[in-house]
Amino acid sequence: MADVQNAFQSWLNQRYSGQFHRQLLLIQGPKDWTRQQAASLLSHSGAGQALWIGDEPGQVSCRDYRRQLGNEWDTVVFDLFAGVSASALVALSGTVRRGGLMLLLCPAQQELAHFIDPKAGQKNSFGWPVGPSQFCRWLLDRVSQSRQVAVFTPEAFRGNHYPADKPSAKPGPCASPEQALAVQGIVKVAKGHRHRPLVITADRGRGKSSALGIAAAQLIRDSARNIVITAPHPDAVAQAFTQAAKLLPEANQSKDRLQTEHGELRFVPVDVLLREAQPADVLLVDEAAAIPAPLLKKLLGRYSRVVFASTIHGYEGSGRGFEIRFKPYLRAQRPGWQQLHLSTPLRWSPGDCLEAFWFDALLMRDAPATEASQTFTAPKLHWYSGPQLASQPSLLHKVFDLLVNAHYQTSPDDLQRILDAPDIQVVTLQQEQHLLAAMLVQTEGTQRLADLANPISLGQRRVQGHLLAQNLSAYLCEPALASLSYLRIVRIAVKDNLRRLGLGRQMLKQLTTEATLRDYDALGSSFGASPDLLAFWQHSEFMPVRLGHKQDAASGEHSLLVLKALSPKAQIWQCALTSYFYDEYPYLLATYFKQLDASLALSLLKGNRQDVTLNVRYQRQLQAFSVGTQPLDTVLQALRCLLMNRVKLPACMDTQLAMRYLLQGWDIGSVCQEAGLSGKKQLVARLRSWVKARLDATP
């Protein structure tokens, strides 16, 4: 034991006396022993400023890790005995300074088969058993395969040194030539031609957020500009504000604003930017990869000078979705756009050991590409549990890669859920050995909620997980809906080169058959509502059953629940749900859904199977209005009935205009502004033409 301790101390002393890459140190053994060793290490003079993530007094809870992201530390201790979070691990690794250490405290190898995440009960869906953490076993397997990780146990010490170059001092505020170019590019967007946005991409630690702050300070000081910065979370812009404040010492600073007598930098959430007019000389969008592409498109249309900064591999979300979904739109709409990529790390040295380990361990690198034919001969579904995928690392990597590309918010925590959550399965569509598509599915409801069904239906109780079961039960105040057996499709992803070929619909068709055989009562999903997504689900006979009243703060979209009944009892409840939804939906359009996208509002309206009859009086009123002998104010109810009548016509701009005015309750000025009309006279003329076309199409 003394020899092991001496070997570790010798390695540590050498490390603190030299110039080395950041590194992960695994301290593995009994809980008290690992904590004692970490505390002893922190007392070493070379440990510097330290952050301890744990559950003891004076330590920071794992759930509060985002509050630390604007800070930097010489040593970060992460105590797995206090709780495990994959996203927190990779995020906090980015707060370790150049040459620093990240300590991971965990059970001995022989104890891993029985180690349960202490926070699993707060993460797992109610009623499901809490088992040993497959994610921790996965993580430790990756450690055993990496020579760059130092491992310290009571029985042995293994560790190598990886020398790093000493950073050279840079004149001025920019830490690298790349960052200086980025600052110049941002300033050019603000001062140059309009509608020529800049995209800055980088992995973490390359100084892109700092570049935003440096450029903002320069613009405020030299050009008296008012600058708005936005991001998915206020924490994401902390570094930008820190850099701007250093260069503007005279500024008054509050939580979300930095103000001088010449100009200001202020943070505004994405949903506020889209809901309210916010004047800005330039808009800076940080962590753009974690913002849905439809919202980025709206920001691009609303502001003429925009800079998008995107992390390629992030703990908040994936930059690859940004590449696939937003950049093609940018090329088409703003041909003068520019791009800069920052590759040189600033907070650590090139070839950094710590970054390389987490990229590999949490599958943040692209999976090896494999080409699959676009001709399919009966591809089949395969179902996998977390442990089954863990035993096939190559397949797990490919599946996770698909999910990352498909959804902007896929994060390392999703990898942990796939491996650890007993109610989650991965369903793949494969042509022999070729992975074509994948779904993340979750079992909900069942008899696990039977004893709580009544308080859940009355809104008196809410348990972890079971999103569909609890929402629908509370929506109708029906206990029986809580204990139906649901299979919720959490994510669905198709390979990039195989999209738009019907594979998603094919998966849902096969899933319907197999879920029925597995005795599920219903399939369902919940997603941010958009016209394209709604059409996809409706094509596979999923019915809208509930639309969330509030917009999601990150996406600005309303959450839509869709359902496809499989069993006879679920079919009865689906009829009740859709009937109730369409009874209330038209009346909520002028309140909760006033800002709902007009084409989406119309698409949902078309799904109503209860036709609205145009009686003879309404038909005469509309006929008179269409030829100009009845004023608008006297036929409003007839117009509303016409809009809700199920006549099959394209959702043209005039139909959307009618939706805004007649059902969503927009005033004439707002409708005219959105539609580019001069005033009420032109609006009435458009409505008259629309009514005539509708009446002509009526049998």
Residue 421 has pLDDT above 70, yes or no: yes
pLDDT tens digit string along 268-283? 999 899 888 789 999 9
Question: What's the CATH class of domain 2-158?
Answer: alpha beta
pLDDT for the residue 384: 97
Distance CA 616, CA 621 (A): 9
Give pLDDT, residue 333.
93
Taking alpha carbons only, the member of 379, 504, 384, 501 closest to residue 434 is 379
pLDDT > 60? residue 315: no
- Find residue 210's DSSP bridge partners: none
Closest C-alpha among 391, 408, 376 to residue 289: 408
Which stretches of 147-207 are DSSP H helices?
Answer: 177-191
Q: Are 289 and 319 in contact (CB under 8 A)?
A: yes
pLDDT at residue 649 in the model: 52
Who contacts 177 (Cβ-Cβ below 8 Å, separation ≥6)?
none
Distance CA 146, CA 155 (A): 19
Over residues 657-695, the pLDDT tens digits come to 999 999 999 999 999 999 999 999 999 999 999 999 888
pTM for the predicted model, two decimal places: 0.87
Q: Indicate if the pLDDT at residue 651 is higher than 80.
A: no
Q: How many CB atoms lie within 10 A of CB 5?
A: 14
Q: Is 175 exposed, middle or buried (0-12, 13-18, 19+ CB in 10 A)?
A: buried
Q: Which of 47-56, 89-98, 373-382 has the lowest mean pLDDT?
A: 373-382
> What confidence score (pLDDT) does residue 393 get?
94
With bands split at pLDDT 50, 70 and 90, how would you rate the model's confidence at 255?
confident
**579-599, pLDDT tens digit by residue?**
999 999 999 999 999 989 999
When pLDDT is cut at 50, 70 and 90, the band that residue 314 belongs to is low
- Per DSSP, helices labelled H in 205-361 are 208-223, 238-247, 270-275, 293-302, 319-321, 327-333, 353-361
Distance of alpha carbon 494 from the chain centroid: 18
Using alpha carbons, list the distances in angstroms from residue 387 to 422, 424, 426. Answer: 10, 11, 11
Q: Is residue 221 marked as binding?
A: no
Q: Give the DSSP H/E element, type plus range, for residue 282.
A: strand 282-285
Average pLDDT of every residue of the chain: 90
Residue 389 has pLDDT above 70, yes or no: yes
Amino acid 699: pLDDT: 59
Distance CA 451, CA 465 (A): 16
Surface-to-core class of residue 329, CB atoms within 10 Å of its CB (0-12 exposed, 13-18 middle, 19+ buried): middle
378 vs 466, which has greater pLDDT?
Answer: 466
142 has a pLDDT exceeding 60 = yes
With cut-offs at 50, 70 and 90, classify the pLDDT of residue 85.
Answer: very high
Instruction: Sketch the domain layout of the chain as residue ranges.
Output: 2-158, 177-342, 423-606, 616-697
Helix (H, G, I), strand (E, B) or coil at 537: helix
Looking at residue 373, what is its pLDDT?
A: 60
- The domain defined by 177-342 carries CATH number 3.40.50.150: no
Q: Would the CA dihedral through 510, 516, 522, 526 be positive or negative?
A: negative
Greater confidence (598 vs 610) lies with: 598
pLDDT of residue 172: 77
Whether the Cβ atoms of residue 447 and residue 408 lie closer than 8 Å to each other: no
pLDDT, residue 313, reads 66
52 bridge partner residues: 77
Identify the pLDDT of residue 375: 66
At the second CATH level, the architecture of 423-606 is 3-Layer(aba) Sandwich (3.40)
Provide DSSP, 19-60: -B--EEEEEES-HHHHHHHHHHHHTSGGG-SEEEESSSTTSB
Contact of 446 with 439, CB cutoff 8 Å: no
pLDDT, greater one: 322 or 590: 590
N-term to C-term CA, the chain: 91
Give CA–CA dist 86/364, Å, rounded: 12
492 annotated to bind ligand: yes
Q: Using 50, 70 and 90 to split pLDDT, how confident is the model at 554? A: low
Whether residue 179 is annotated as binding a ligand: the answer is: yes
Distance of alpha carbon 675 from alpha carbon 655, whole angstroms: 11
| Residue 606 pLDDT class (50, 70, 90 cuts) | confident
Instruction: Kindly tell me if the per-residue pLDDT of 25 is higher than 70.
Output: yes
Total Cβ atoms within 10 A of residue 56: 10
**Same fold for the pair 2-158 and 177-342:** yes
- The whole-angstrom separation of Cα 654 and Cα 594 is 17
pLDDT digits 0-9 by tens, 171-220: 779 988 999 999 999 999 999 999 999 999 988 889 999 999 999 999 99
Rounded Cα distance between 287 and 352, Å, is 22
* pLDDT at 1 exceeding the cut of 60: yes
463-514: pLDDT as tens digits: 999 999 999 999 999 999 999 999 999 999 999 888 888 999 999 999 999 9
